Structure 1
Amino acid sequence: MTSVTTHCPYCSLQCGMRLTGRRSLEVSAWEEFEVNEGKLCRKGWSAAGLHGSRERLTTPLLRDRATGEFRAVGWDEALDLVAARIGALQAVHGSDAVAVFGGGGLTNEKAYQLGKFARAVLRTSQIDYNGRWCMSSAASAGTRALGLDRGLPFPLADVERTDVLVLVGSNLAETMPPAARHLDRLRERGGRVVVIDPRRTPTAERADLFVQPVPGTDLALALGVLHVLVASGAVDADYLASRTTGFAGVRDSVAAWWPERVERVTGVGADQVRELAALLASRVRAGGPGDPGERARVMVLTARGAEQHSTGSDTVLAWINVALALGQCGREYAGYGCLTGQGNGQGGREHGQKADQLPGYRSITDPAARAHVAGVWGVDPESLPGKGRSAYELLMALGTEDGPKAMLVHGSNIVLSAPNAAVVAERLAALDLLVVADIVLSETAALADVVLPVTQWAEESGTMTNLEGRVILRQRAVTPPAGVRTDLEVLAGLAARLGSPVELATDPEEVFTELRAASAGGPADYSGITWQRIRDEQGVFWPCPDGPTPHPGTPRMFLERFGHPDGLARFHVVEHRGPAEVPDEDYPVHLTTGRVLAQYQSGAQTRRIRDLPDTGPFVELHPLLAMRLGTCDGEPVEVTTRRGTMVAPARVSEAIRPDTVFVPFHWAGVNRLTNDALDPASRMPEFKACAARVAVAPAVLPSGVEPVEVPA
């Protein structure tokens, strides 16, 4: 029997838990870990359910091109074939003929090694990851406005100490249930919670003020709120002068966004726009007569509902403008933050698997950054490739004349998670070689030429960086099944066969030591963090530079200065453009997507755990829309966009706007419908808004049964 403290395999909370067992694993509470205090959601409690699953892959699979069927092969045969095919393709088409696609659930060590493998072994620029579809818009906006991107620049528990919390596009109660206790505690001490969402979610039920805009109009709402704040004299002039730059242009740009105009665009009543602005500008803790009190501490947190749009970066900038105008960013228990989604969405992009970044959150176009990382790797800086294609653009280039001819996928189920997914499947099919490393035969692995079985959570150790910027350690609890290798071993095996000029370590702690050196001096500096410190301190917040005395880490950022060279935050003028595709006569309603409590991401893991209810997809629609269609709860309805059609049972609910339908994305179907329009700054696809048509699904008759005509 073994018992270890570790962390949940799912979302970015990275809740602490204990694992006990040998042949079977049991999850129990780790109450001392402060992020979740022993609390877990149903996904966390059942996380060990995939251990020992009959669907677990334990041997490499090779597709027989004659029959199209997989056959089991040994590791040497599989890796020899992959290396030979890569070498042949690069010899004919150049280094960029091979692409690498990573995942936001990979450990920091895997993300780092994947980037090193791509750039130092393959020498390809064609690497990106599914985190591009998670919080890239918030990352882009945070970097531009505050000078540095760390999802939450403060510990999550600070939520309890603010006065007004604004959640924009977040269903925290279902996506991160243990974090919802902070909302309850905030309200118990007299704070207020605002939820902005097209759906009245379980999170909205916890709100003091619920605002329900049309999908894709959060930016216009922010412009209207700032208009009211400026008009009422609620901006913090002293703060603007001492800690920011660029406010004058933003002030002028919001002059035309009076509340009545906002109402016409967003569907949010003008009075509610004023109510929200008044709440943000309120005073608290007055000392007595004549004392107006201090400004309320305001915290604005955005999530995918606001960010997964072709205007996602500008939407986040608009809400940062609101927080800056009120003097909140860099104030204790206040400011702006992003609720990262994937388990290692933060660390995954800091250390090299993103198309434009090198380890330590360095820019790949910065000569000094290239020289530093090349020095750690022992290669010539000139040998490192430049910036590659973003995730969706990379997928669209696969198999084209000037695009990659082969791709290696680690930790991502692209066929379900990409927008306009039917076209993505076509691009994957056009490849000469598709290699997928996974723990089960996911929908993407089922299309591969070679499938490599790799270790899962609980079978390996490695660090993750949670939504707070806290670097934590997942510890190995059990021995992996015979025949399974770690991703680090897979990459090292391929590198050796490809004649790599650099050595790739297979011990994760050794890889982390190298990562520390590569990140030293960068924006995301991990050089002062060790595995032992993480064990002793329940995680360490970056930046944490190395030095003669241990650095304490940085739980709270921006208290004295922002990340720009002059220490000032930047206002940015942004304009509302709306979704790339708006409803019309042929497609009269909005389609939006999201998560449900019992499932996670593409469901490759959670749909295989018996203790989690697998309801399948559904179409949530308002009773008024259901009445117009002539359908009712549970009846099949057909949702169509310009990209495809899906059928799923109706779920009639007053929680959704009458002009909007919602479909969860954990099952095949809805991402064949979503729009692939990209944000120009972050390259985030527009998952959260497109035009759709809904109808009663045509009757499906058994095979061989002819329809019967009924006389009029």
Structure 2
Amino acid sequence: MERQIDTMTFSVEQANKIMATQCPFCSVQCKMEVVEDLSGSRPAYQVTAIPNKASEGRLCVKGMNAYQHAVSRERLLHPMMRKDGALTRVSWEEALEAVSSRFTELQTKHGADTIGLYGGGSLTNESAYLLGKFARVALKTKYIDYNGRFCMSAAASAGVKTFGIDRGLTFAMSDIPMAECIILAGTNIAECQPTLMPYFTRAKDNGAVIIAIDPRASATVSIADIHLQVKPGMDAALVNAMLKVIVDEKLTDEEFIRNRTKGFDAVKEHVSSLNLEEIADYTGVSIELIRKAAIQFGKARTGMVFTARGVEQHADGHMAVRNFLNMVLATGKIGRAGCGYGAVTGQGNGQGGREHGQKADQLPGYRLIENPDDRAYVAGVWGIDPNDLPGKGVSAYEMMELVHGGTIKGLFVMGSNPIVSNPNATLVEEALERAEFLVVADMFLSETAKLADIVLPVSAYLENEGTMTNLEGRVLLRPAGRSAPGEVRHDWQILCDLAYSLGKEQYFPFRQSEEIFNELRVASRGGIADYYGITYDRLRKEEGIYWPCPALDHPGTPRLFGERFAHQDGLAVFQQVDHQSPAEQPSEEYPLYLTNGRLLSHYLTGVQTRRSPVLAAREIENVLEIHPLTARKHRLEDGALASVRSSRGTVIVRTKFTSAIREDTLFIPMHWGDAQNVNRVTNDLLDPNCRMPDFKTSAVRIQPLAEYLLEQKGRMTN
């Protein structure tokens, strides 16, 4: 017997109407209209931007072509099960029964924690919430985490420690043009969130000085007045130097420090003892540039600091962000117009995805699973005994290690492609091949789905109604514009169906996404990320609402910390940061730094954008950015295939010469799998504070592909 779900049906006439939706990709969540014209022999599509408060009616090339993956012929349309070594079409009834019976069998034999759940930062708030509930209520396993661990964990943990709260931006994007000085650290907004760029160009038009911190002269750096081309992994040291200048030049805001913070004396004493010449040599940035940037930021009446993965994806990413927050606090640039800190979220729902229970240590509303009061409250909402809630699990990559070692024997992956997104990807692939039972819910047969025992087809952004929370903390409602093709089901619907098969249907009675959101509202009530006052009806009328929003008549909170911070005493916390060298340093065997990142045309592991003909044609294969002088030393020609090797593995990519990168650094994008997967070589060392992998500083060697193949052939012969 199957559950009955409210479904949407559309006639041809309705399908020809405009579908109001929003982009499924980056954290801006731009609104758009997609018109599907079925009057011809083949469907035709027209996409236009919808004016809104976030993107102001802009779309980038990814958004304009997002519909292409939703209508792709490669979409998975039916459940599949591995039989005789091949994935074969089966009914939903057979697939769900196989999943529930196999999970039950494994848990009966090995315990509840033998099953792990691995989610994604592109799931709606409703699906992210339900995945966390499904793990803890339906399966009672502690092992759940998600790919957002690789996106925001360093900034999130730093924000919680410093401010008492983690929200991507502490201000509304409309504040950006009011800033007199803006620091963009390790963020390439021009390619990753291009519809935000007009906010920054508007600030420049108003006289703002923009400081970019990046080993590459990226498209974003082109708008900067000052470029600090720091060595990879040395951001914390660079900020220490800037703080020293700010302190020495008496550019600190003493009144703000005295009334709104604690712990500054230790930071002041530490940076005062530092030697600028040593730090300049260490970071690769001249004293002159360090002083110029620090004085510009210190003297500015208003200012903002933005960080992203270039700062955060390090073994000391948490502490590096803490140091940037030290600089914000020392100059009093937070809690007022034109001021604040922003962690530039990468994934579409990277913000909301980490607020409501996908993360190993969290419950809805940013509650903590190990806090007795939080456990009691959420258990009450869910109708269970708090003692039945499992404890804290481990981070995403650590889950892969547990699969590899056999502790986790069954894994359910939803909205993610861990073979491509994790560091040390070869180990991850081995882990998933070893898993006794792997279930993947996806739109396409991703690199991970190809290894699955069961694949469940899920709906695309055009078909799945739900809420997303953008980088500002603005909750937006994404309506569904068309029915799902074939036998495709929504991800939240699949979780309800599985709960039904497991005999837990009383806890998952949902028939519409709005019903899930209404329970989420209650579960988050009184928490740090309080959504209680937000409703679907309000979202339709108000174009999005900022959390915290604790009551139905509350307007939402665009700007945080105007009067107090979120710690119990209302004060922000300084933290002394002892900068350290990256754990993996270049050596004779591996003489270069490797860093990675994104390209304008693609998103995450490319599962969706590589199915878009227009986007795929813009970047048909992965590339290696290398300085021409570095290439010459290693006998490489422009456009030639090369091998890049670390102690963990090898990636094969085509060279692209550019003088916009440091001579000691290579750059490879992250959007391709298999032999082009940069994460075959990236460092799996984890930040001790937030468990963020050290993606951005790997020691590697490079050589022409022909030389590498000859070398490998010689090893095999010997």
TM-score (norm 1): 0.95
The amino acid of 1:199's aligned partner reads R
- Distance apart, 1:254 and its partner CA: 1.2
Q: Does the 8 Å contact 2:404/2:427 carry over to 1?
A: no
**1:11 partnered with 2:16:** no
SS of 1:360's partner is helix
Q: Does the 8 Å contact 2:128/2:353 carry over to 1?
A: yes
Residues 161-193 of structure 1: per-residue CA shift (max 9 Å, x gap): 100000000000011111111121111111111
**1:534 partnered with 2:551:** no
**1:495 partnered with 2:510:** no
The amino acid of 1:691's aligned partner reads A
Query: Match of 2:652?
Result: 647
- Distance apart, 1:580 and its partner CA: 1.6
After TM superposition, list the pairs within 5 Å mapping 1:617-628 onto structure 2: 617-628=622-633
Q: Does the 8 Å contact 1:408/1:435 carry over to 2?
A: yes
**1:207 partnered with 2:224:** yes
Match of 2:682 among 642, 654, 674: 674
Q: Does the 8 Å contact 2:70/2:461 carry over to 1?
A: no
Work out the CA distance in 2 between the residues paired with 1:172 and 1:158: 17
Change in CA separation of 1:57 and 1:94 when aligned onto 2, cut-off 3 Å: same
Q: Does the 8 Å contact 1:8/1:16 carry over to 2?
A: yes
Work out the CA distance in 1 between the residues paired with 2:518 and 2:55: 28
Work out the CA distance in 1 between the residues paired with 2:384 and 2:34: 41
Residues 641-699 of structure 1: per-residue CA shift (max 9 Å, x gap): 11111221110100100000000010122100000000001100011111011112216
SS of 1:101's partner is strand
SS of 1:134's partner is helix
Match of 2:173 among 134, 156, 161: 156
The amino acid of 2:496's aligned partner reads A
After TM superposition, list the pairs within 5 Å mapping 1:99-114 onto structure 2: 99-114=116-131
The amino acid of 1:252's aligned partner reads E
The amino acid of 1:8's aligned partner reads C
Q: Does the 8 Å contact 1:25/1:51 carry over to 2?
A: no
Work out the CA distance in 1 between the residues paired with 2:46 and 2:630: 43
Work out the CA distance in 1 between the residues paired with 2:348 and 2:709: 43
Query: Match of 1:50?
Result: 69
Q: Does the 8 Å contact 1:28/1:45 carry over to 2?
A: yes
Change in CA separation of 1:166 and 1:404 when aligned onto 2, cut-off 3 Å: same
Query: Match of 2:696?
Result: 688
After TM superposition, list the pairs within 5 Å mapping 1:112-191 onto structure 2: 112-191=129-208
**1:606 partnered with 2:609:** yes
**1:233 partnered with 2:237:** no
- Distance apart, 1:329 and its partner CA: 1.9
Query: Match of 2:7?
Result: none
- Distance apart, 1:494 and its partner CA: 1.0
Query: Match of 2:93?
Result: 76
- Distance apart, 1:546 and its partner CA: 1.9
SS of 1:472's partner is strand
Match of 1:346 among 348, 351, 357: 351
Work out the CA distance in 1 between the residues paired with 2:46 and 2:171: 29
Match of 1:660 among 657, 660, 665: 665
Query: Match of 1:455?
Result: 459
Work out the CA distance in 1 between the residues paired with 2:449 and 2:476: 29
SS of 1:154's partner is coil
Whose helix fraction is larger, Structure 1's or Structure 2's? 2
Work out the CA distance in 2 between the residues paired with 1:700 and 1:241: 60
Work out the CA distance in 1 between the residues paired with 2:433 and 2:639: 35
Gaps of 5+ in 2: 1-15
Query: Match of 2:376?
Result: 371
Q: Does the 8 Å contact 2:148/2:353 carry over to 1?
A: yes
Residues 43-74 of structure 1: per-residue CA shift (max 9 Å, x gap): 0000111132111100111112x3x2111111
SS of 1:26's partner is strand
- Distance apart, 1:637 and its partner CA: 1.6
Gaps of 5+ in 1: 283-294, 707-712
Match of 1:62 among 64, 68, 81: 81
Query: Match of 1:522?
Result: 527
Q: Does the 8 Å contact 2:179/2:303 carry over to 1?
A: yes
Work out the CA distance in 1 between the residues paired with 2:704 and 2:412: 41
SS of 1:692's partner is strand
Out of 146-155 and 18-27, give the one that drifted further: 18-27
Change in CA separation of 1:585 and 1:399 when aligned onto 2, cut-off 3 Å: closer
Q: Does the 8 Å contact 1:27/1:46 carry over to 2?
A: no
Q: Does the 8 Å contact 1:27/1:48 carry over to 2?
A: no
Query: Match of 1:271?
Result: 288
Query: Match of 2:427?
Result: 423
Change in CA separation of 1:86 and 1:31 when aligned onto 2, cut-off 3 Å: closer
**1:571 partnered with 2:588:** no
Residues 99-154 of structure 1: per-residue CA shift (max 9 Å, x gap): 10000000000000001100011000000000000010000000000110001011
Match of 2:264 among 247, 258, 269: 247
Work out the CA distance in 2 between the residues paired with 1:645 and 1:181: 39
- Distance apart, 1:429 and its partner CA: 1.3
Query: Match of 2:398?
Result: 393
SS of 2:703's partner is strand
Work out the CA distance in 1 between the residues paired with 2:250 and 2:170: 28
Residues 394-447 of structure 1: per-residue CA shift (max 9 Å, x gap): 11001535x211010000011100000000111111111000000010000001
Work out the CA distance in 2 between the residues paired with 1:60 and 1:659: 48
Query: Match of 1:286?
Result: none
Q: CA RMSD in A?
A: 1.6
Q: Percent identity?
A: 47
Q: Does the 8 Å contact 1:330/1:559 carry over to 2?
A: yes
Out of 319-328 and 625-634, give the one that drifted further: 625-634
Q: Does the 8 Å contact 1:259/1:271 carry over to 2?
A: no
SS of 2:148's partner is helix
Work out the CA distance in 1 between the residues paired with 2:49 and 2:642: 44
Work out the CA distance in 1 between the residues paired with 2:321 and 2:29: 24
The amino acid of 2:151's aligned partner reads C
Work out the CA distance in 2 between the residues paired with 1:378 and 1:497: 19
The amino acid of 2:433's aligned partner reads A
- Distance apart, 1:368 and its partner CA: 1.1
Work out the CA distance in 1 between the residues paired with 2:69 and 2:207: 42
SS of 2:614's partner is coil
**1:21 partnered with 2:36:** yes
Query: Match of 2:439?
Result: 435
Query: Match of 2:564?
Result: 561
- Distance apart, 1:471 and its partner CA: 0.2
Query: Match of 2:340?
Result: 335
The amino acid of 1:488's aligned partner reads W
Match of 2:277 among 231, 250, 260: 260
SS of 1:572's partner is coil
- Distance apart, 1:41 and its partner CA: 0.8
Q: Does the 8 Å contact 2:36/2:46 carry over to 1?
A: no
Query: Match of 2:597?
Result: 594
The amino acid of 1:12's aligned partner reads S
Q: Does the 8 Å contact 1:195/1:209 carry over to 2?
A: yes
- Distance apart, 1:700 and its partner CA: 9.3
Work out the CA distance in 1 between the residues paired with 2:563 and 2:197: 29
- Distance apart, 1:27 and its partner CA: 4.7
Residues 57-93 of structure 1: per-residue CA shift (max 9 Å, x gap): 00111112x3x21111111001101111001000011
After TM superposition, list the pairs within 5 Å mapping 1:24-35 onto structure 2: 24=43, 26-35=45-54
Residues 465-489 of structure 1: per-residue CA shift (max 9 Å, x gap): 0000000011101111121111122
Query: Match of 1:638?
Result: 643
Work out the CA distance in 1 between the residues paired with 2:643 and 2:140: 46
The amino acid of 2:697's aligned partner reads A
**1:280 partnered with 2:283:** no
Aligned residues: 687
Residues 195-249 of structure 1: per-residue CA shift (max 9 Å, x gap): 1000000100111111100000011000000011111111111111000000001
Work out the CA distance in 1 between the residues paired with 2:44 and 2:419: 31
Residues 21-59 of structure 1: per-residue CA shift (max 9 Å, x gap): 265473533442021122111000001111321111001
